[in-house]
């Protein structure tokens, strides 16, 4: 059972692959299982609550319950002490031998809970010193396994847990940034890029499983390759990787997630916006646009620099999809700061915006900052910005009426739906097809946008060979 982000989904499929290789059979229902493995999320308070609730519900089935994932890594034996319903709380270092640990749990043998530590201390400070050192450090989602048959190379250690035509593909793990509100680096560790050959091999394997869209995930995709030498492309490694992924047989679309605005280079913008088979889609982590707030967040940028980046993207591709998340109510945020955020959102005309109210996170610098806003003020500001975002994103969707989009079909039947290039899985709206005809999940269909509803689009398939209306 997986909670949290797409990175966790990759980790779960790695664990499923490891367990299958160890002789375990996967079940879809907790009630018929000997063990329920819950891949927890530990990002924010609401996610932690969801994780605990899921662990308790799993325990109610009568199966053994094992907590893994970010919350388990972050809190370890503290979580185990407060949640006796879990039979074990295991960290990332347990992943390689998880099959054996489940054997122990089913047999009634005690398994010591994970003891948390700052995972940033496991690797050298300098990124270029990490590739060899990373061999001895558990990095979830990076697994491959050598086969024993002579003449065979590494095979992907992953089992798909759903039949979607879209799959997340991890290109890196960890983060070297020190955003004052974020605890992720402390339990995910320092930034480590996957080798291009491993990524390409896993991408080809996913294509063989019926995947048509690759969703590249990491904590910071713009840093990909910074721990490589010049011969591997160094800081240009992502620009070099994207066309190779797009050229894999069976892959129709490659999408990049989680770009840091301060690290988004002009060449990367160009490659994403203009490479055939790569979605002209930019998931940019702006978080705010007031310089004063961004500095307290330990981030860089401003309203004007962010608008310049948006303009640069749209010079290459006027129809490019751009989404972000913003945090409202950060310590010290003033009414002037909020107006600056409004100026950015109004000027940027983004396709999707997640709005979050600030809350303290254990062990972060922001937890100690002065200027905390009361809960009522934060709620009021979240409501205000959310209403603005709802209006702006609906206008942006309405502006697409008359455009032609390539829709990847994700559900087919009584209602046929999919997503265009500017829509990421689950978070950015859908396309609803009118007069869909006979379509199959995984088809890529050229459609005209005929209407919009909020961020969703209503589209109609175009006959083959039809000229683009606009």
Known binding residues for [4Fe-4S] cluster are 5, 41, 70, 175, 179, 182
Phi and psi at residue 63, to the nearest 5°: -80, 160
Q: Give the separation between CA 304 and CA 291, rounded to whole angstroms.
A: 10
Q: Which two tokens stand for residue 129?
A: 């010193």
DSSP code, position 287 = B
In 229-249, which positions are buried (b, 16+ CB within 10 angstroms) versus exposed (e)? Answer: eeeebebbbbbebbeebbebe
Question: Measured at the alpha carbon of residue 40, what is the angle toward residues 35 and 44, in degrees to the nearest 5?
Answer: 160
Q: Give the separation between CA 308 and CA 289, rounded to whole angstroms.
A: 12
Query: Which residues participate in the annotated binding site?
Result: 5, 41, 70, 175, 179, 182
Residues 6+ apart with CB under 8 A from 280: 272, 273, 274, 316, 317, 319, 320, 321, 421, 422
φ/ψ bin of 233: left (φ > 0), alpha (ψ from -120 to 50), beta (otherwise): left
Nearest C-alpha neighbor of 450 from the set 467, 432, 465: 432
Tokens 């329920």 correspond to: 36
User: Distances in Å between the alpha carbon of 204 and those of 97, 198, 440, 441?
Assistant: 26, 10, 21, 19
Q: Give the separation between CA 22 and CA 7, rounded to whole angstroms.
A: 23
User: Distances in Å between the alpha carbon of 49 and those of 54, 338, 352?
Assistant: 9, 29, 26
């Amino acid at each position: 059972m997986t909670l949290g982000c797409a990175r966790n989904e990759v980790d779960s499929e790695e664990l499923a692959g490891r367990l299958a290789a160890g002789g375990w059979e996967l079940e879809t229902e907790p009630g018929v299982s000997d063990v329920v493995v819950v891949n927890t999320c530990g990002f924010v308070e609401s996610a932690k609550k969801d994780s605990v609730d899921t662990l308790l519900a799993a325990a109610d089935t009568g199966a053994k319950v094992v907590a893994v994932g970010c919350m388990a890594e972050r809190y370890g034996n503290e979580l185990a002490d407060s949640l006796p319903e879990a039979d074990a709380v295991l960290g990332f270092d347990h992943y390689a031998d998880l099959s054996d640990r489940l054997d122990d749990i089913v047999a009634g043998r005690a398994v010591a809970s994970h003891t948390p530590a700052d995972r940033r201390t496991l690797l050298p400070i300098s990124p270029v010193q990490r590739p060899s050192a990373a061999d001895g450090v558990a990095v979830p989602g990076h697994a491959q396994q050598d086969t024993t048959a002579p003449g065979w190379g590494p095979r992907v250690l992953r089992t798909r847990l759903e039949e979607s035509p879209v799959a997340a593909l991890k290109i890196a793990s960890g983060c070297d940034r020190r955003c004052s509100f974020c605890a992720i680096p402390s339990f995910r560790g320092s930034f480590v890029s996957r080798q291009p050959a491993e990524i390409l091999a896993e991408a080809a394997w996913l294509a063989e499983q019926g995947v048509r869209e690759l969703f590249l995930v990491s904590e910071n995709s713009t840093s990909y390759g910074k721990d490589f030498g010049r011969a591997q492309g160094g800081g240009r490694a992502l620009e070099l990787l994207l066309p190779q992924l797009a050229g894999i047989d069976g892959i129709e679309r490659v999408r990049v997630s989680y770009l840091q605005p301060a690290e988004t280079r002009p060449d990367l913008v160009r490659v994403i916006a203009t490479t055939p088979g790569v979605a002209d889609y930019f998931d940019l982590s702006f978080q705010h646009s007031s310089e004063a707030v961004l500095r307290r967040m330990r981030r860089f940028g401003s309203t004007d620099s962010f608008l310049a980046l948006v303009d640069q993207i749209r010079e290459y591709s006027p129809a490019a999809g751009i989404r972000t998340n913003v945090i409202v109510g950060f310590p010290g945020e003033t009414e002037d700061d909020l107006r600056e955020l409004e100026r950015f959102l109004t000027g940027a005309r983004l396709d999707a915006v997640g709005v979050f109210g600030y809350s303290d996170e254990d062990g972060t610098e922001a937890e100690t900052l002065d200027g905390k806003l009361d809960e009522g003020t934060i709620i009021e500001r979240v409501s205000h910005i959310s209403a603005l975002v709802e209006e702006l994103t609906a206008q942006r969707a309405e502006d697409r009426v008359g455009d032609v989009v390539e829709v990847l079909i994700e559900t087919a039947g009584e209602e046929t739906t999919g997503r265009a290039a500017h829509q990421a899985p689950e978070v950015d709206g859908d396309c609803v097809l009118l007069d869909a005809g006979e379509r199959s999940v995984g088809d890529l269909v050229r459609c005209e946008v005929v209407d919009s509803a909020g961020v969703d689009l209503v589209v109609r398939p175009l006959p083959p060979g039809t000229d683009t209306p606009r």
